[in-house]
Amino acid sequence: MNEALTKNYEKTLKEQVAVIHAAFGEEPRTVAFVEVPKNVVVDQKLETAFRLTNNINRAWWENEEVTPVFPEQGCRSTSVGDMVLVGTEKYVCVSTGWKKV
């Protein structure tokens, strides 16, 4: 199958969520858009966005599913107090999961 067609098809299976850093008293700002599977429950989308915006083996903004939108050369990992926007619903990261805002 044509590589471009394959990529277009794969995009139909995903949606973008926005990662908003607001922890540590920061002014809220969007730092990334993350591609997550469209056909999973919200908690899985949130956990995917969290995992992909954390430095584990490399800088998180180097992950293929992440589009960084911060002006600096680097950005901290997503943490408790940060938020993810899924569709029109916003969720804040708490110490044990996520809470709808």
The predicted-structure confidence for 33-44, as pLDDT tens digits, reads as follows 999 999 999 999
Domains of the chain, by residue range, sit at 3-100
Strands, E, within the chain: which ranges? 14-21, 29-37, 66-68, 83-86, 89-94, 97-100
Structure tokens at 60: 């998180």
pLDDT tens, residue by residue, 4-46: 665 666 667 899 999 999 999 999 999 999 999 999 999 999 9
